């Protein structure tokens, strides 16, 4: 085991409790048919890679590297469409051009953080999420929503859990898997394998490089497992 592999084991702390095991039928079929996979990561600062030392340390770039390592016979491309500070509505307005026109098999949507800070309203947010989810699904694309991050001082945002619940309900209503970032980050902090500075930056809300790498590793684990699962055999006719 290399030093890098040993360090990455930290990222899997609590994996049995906060697992990510999505079902990704379009992604799986696309890989089987073409050997190619395009993923679009749309979001705000977490996706853009705020706080990282370079674009190559953002979670979408690390995810691309990790998936290429896990699926060496496949052609993997992860497109980063993160724009810091954007709300769910801002992302909705560019869903067609920045996401659907890229013709991905899979979209990872990280959102709601700015909506919490600006307290846009839960009902309004629910409508925006529903519309965005609908656009992606109507285009025949797999979708994963990303949960909000765990913060050491959530009391700064009194409606934080309410907005998390809006995201969870919107995803559940459309049968969209949610990447359990909140639970994972909380478990990483409890594991004491990370320093606080490794997980969350100086502003108390944005991830830093160790956190981005761990996000990418856990997403890659889930996606690779989904596309590598044995094909279900049709039931025998009687």
Kindly report, residue by residue over 82-95, the tens digit of the pLDDT.
999 999 999 999 99
Distances (CA, A) of 206 to 4, 46, 150: 23, 7, 10
- Selected residue with higher pLDDT from 116 and 185: 116
Cα 165 to chain centroid, rounded: 17
**Which parts of the chain fold into alpha helices (H)?**
3-8, 25-34, 45-48, 59-70, 88-93, 113-118, 122-138, 160-173, 181-191, 196-199, 209-228
Q: Residues, the chain, total?
A: 238
The structure tokens listed for 131 are 């519309």
- Residues 184 and 218 sit within 8 Å (Cβ to Cβ): yes
pLDDT band at 50 (very low <50, low <70, confident <90, very high): confident
- In degrees and rounded to multiples of 5, residue 37 shows phi and psi of -145, 125
Supply the pTM of this predicted model: 0.89
What residue has token string 């690779």?
A: 224
- Residues 46 and 54 sit within 8 Å (Cβ to Cβ): no
Residue 155: is its pLDDT beyond 90?
A: no
Set out the domains of the chain in order of their start, with CATH numbers.
21-228 (3.40.50.1110)
pLDDT band at 11 (very low <50, low <70, confident <90, very high): confident
**End-to-end Cα distance, the chain:** 51
- Residues 73 and 91 sit within 8 Å (Cβ to Cβ): no
Round the average pLDDT of the chain to a whole number and report it. 87
- Residues 137 and 99 sit within 8 Å (Cβ to Cβ): no
Report the distance separating Cα 183 and Cα 149, nearest Å: 8
In the sheet that holds 36-43, the strands lie side by side as 75-82, 36-43, 106-110, 142-146, 178-179
Q: In the chain, pLDDT over 90 holds for what percent of residues?
A: 65
- Residues 122 and 88 sit within 8 Å (Cβ to Cβ): no
Predicted confidence (pLDDT) per residue in 71-80, tens digit: 999 999 999 9
């Amino acid at each position: 085991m290399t030093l890098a592999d040993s360090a990455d084991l930290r990222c899997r702390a609590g994996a049995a409790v906060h697992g990510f095991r999505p079902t990704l039928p379009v992604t799986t079929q696309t890989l089987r048919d073409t050997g190619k996979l395009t993923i679009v990561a749309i979001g705000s600062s977490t996706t853009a890679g705020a706080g990282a030392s370079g674009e190559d340390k953002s979670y979408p770039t690390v995810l691309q590297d990790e998936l290429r390592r896990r699926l060496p016979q496949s052609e993997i491309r992860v497109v980063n469409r993160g724009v810091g500070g954007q709300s769910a509505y801002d992302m909705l307005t560019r869903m067609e051009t920045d996401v659907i026109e890229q013709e991905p098999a899979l979209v990872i949507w990280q959102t709601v953080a700015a909506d919490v800070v600006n307290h846009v309203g839960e009902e309004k947010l629910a409508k925006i999420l529903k519309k965005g989810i609908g656009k992606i699904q109507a285009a025949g694309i797999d979708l994963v929503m990303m949960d909000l991050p765990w913060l050491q001082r959530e009391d700064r945002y009194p409606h934080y859990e309410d907005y998390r619940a809006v995201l969870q309900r919107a995803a559940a209503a459309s049968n969209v898997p949610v990447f359990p970032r909140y639970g994972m980050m909380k478990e990483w902090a409890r594991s004491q394998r990370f320093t606080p500075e490794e997980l969350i930056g100086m502003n108390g809300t944005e991830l830093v490089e160790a956190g981005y790498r761990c996000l990418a590793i856990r997403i890659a684990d889930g996606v690779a497992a989904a596309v590598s699962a044995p094909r279900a055999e049709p039931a025998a006719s009687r």
